[in-house]
């Protein structure tokens, strides 16, 4: 009887050991597959920006990389944002988004509009610049809320030297909007720029039901109408 119990006990241990080995193999194979997938996915991409910082409030920094995909669009090559989490000694892809970084030729005469990406206060911050005589700058901030990346703030500057400048800051969480218009008069004959004069300063609220998702958001393709003067600003 004891021999029979011992026999079944060894069979039980063998099965446990075999199951453990199989699980390790599957996990290892999946890890290799995941790493290979990420590598293959970016083989033809060019890295044009990178930032490190804590995005999910766990005191462990994430990595955000902006890639030029070399995929042609109407306004140049498409960009992608890849967000990585640190797992032991390697980076694992967490999220991948398109749209939030403008294509390579969207900056007008200034060429590539993408300036930089960084992480501040748990948010991804993206800077764009472009135009011709009238220049624009966009600053968009995105944060991980309710299991998705949301636009939480947009700042727009638009204008030209010796004319006027408009600035708009939009907090998409509170709906608070601050708008300012300045005029700049110049003595062109003597090449003298005068100080800017604030001609309008407004504050109002325009809250959306939900902030836009980062994935698919297109900077500069979304409008706000200033109710006090009927001016349209694109963010």
Domain ranges across the chain: 1-41, 99-234
pLDDT at 227 over 70: yes
- Over residues 113-124, the mean pLDDT reads 98
Per-residue model confidence (pLDDT) at position 89:
86
Separation between Cα atoms, residue 228 and residue 169, nearest integer Å = 16
Question: Quick one: average pLDDT of 32-36?
Answer: 33
> Is pLDDT at 16 greater than 70 in this prediction?
no
pLDDT at 88: 85
> 217 pLDDT exceeds 90?
yes
Q: Under DSSP, is residue 162 helix (H, G, I), strand (E, B) or coil?
A: coil
Whole-number average pLDDT of the chain = 85
Cα–Cα dist 110/138, whole Å: 14
Alpha-carbon distance of 124 to 144, in angstroms, equals 9
SS3 147: coil
**Residues 193-206, mean pLDDT to the nearest whole number:** 90
Question: How far apart are the C-alpha atoms of 62 and 183, rounded to whole Å?
Answer: 42
Which H/E stretch holds residue 220? none
Q: How far apart are CA 92 and CA 62, in angstroms?
A: 10
Quote the pLDDT of residue 11.
38
Closest C-alpha among 217, 173, 172, 224 to residue 202: 224
Distance CA 152, CA 105 (A): 26
pLDDT above 90 (res 198): yes
The pair of three-digit structure tokens given for residue 109, joined into one six-digit string: 């005469």
Q: With 50 as the cut, is the pLDDT of residue 119 above it?
A: yes
Residue 54 has pLDDT above 80, yes or no: yes
DSSP string computed for 72-137: EETTEEEEEEEEEEEETTEEEEEEEEESSS--TTTTBTT---EEEEEEETTEEEEEEEEESSSEEE
pLDDT for position 37 = 34
Residue 229 CA neighbour count, 13 Å, CB half: 12
- Do residues 123 and 101 lie in contact, with contact meaning Cβ atoms separated by under 8 Å? no
């Amino acid at each position: 009887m004891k021999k029979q119990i011992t026999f079944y006990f060894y069979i039980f241990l063998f099965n446990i050991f075999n199951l453990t080995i199989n699980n390790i193999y599957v996990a290892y194979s999946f890890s290799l597959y995941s790493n290979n997938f990420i590598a293959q996915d970016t083989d033809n991409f060019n890295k044009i920006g990178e930032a490190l910082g804590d995005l999910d409030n766990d005191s462990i920094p994430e990595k955000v990389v902006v890639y030029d995909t070399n995929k042609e669009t109407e306004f140049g090559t498409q960009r992608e944002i890849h967000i990585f989490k640190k797992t032991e000694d390697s980076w694992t892809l967490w999220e991948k988004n398109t749209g939030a970084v403008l294509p390579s030729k969207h900056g007008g005469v200034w060429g590539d509009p993408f300036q930089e990406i960084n992480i501040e206060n748990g948010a991804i911050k993206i800077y764009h610049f472009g135009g011709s005589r009238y220049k624009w700058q966009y600053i968009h901030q995105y944060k991980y809320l309710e299991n998705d990346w949301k636009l939480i703030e947009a700042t727009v500057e638009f204008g030209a030297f010796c004319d006027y400048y408009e600035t708009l800051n939009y907090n998409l969480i509170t709906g608070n909007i601050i708008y300012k218009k300045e005029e700049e008069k110049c003595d062109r004959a003597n090449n003298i720029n005068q100080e800017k004069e604030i001609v309008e300063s407004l504050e109002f609220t325009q809250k959306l039901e939900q902030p836009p998702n980062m994935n698919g958001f297109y900077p500069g393709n979304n409008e706000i109408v200033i109710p006090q003067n009927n001016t349209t600003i694109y963010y």
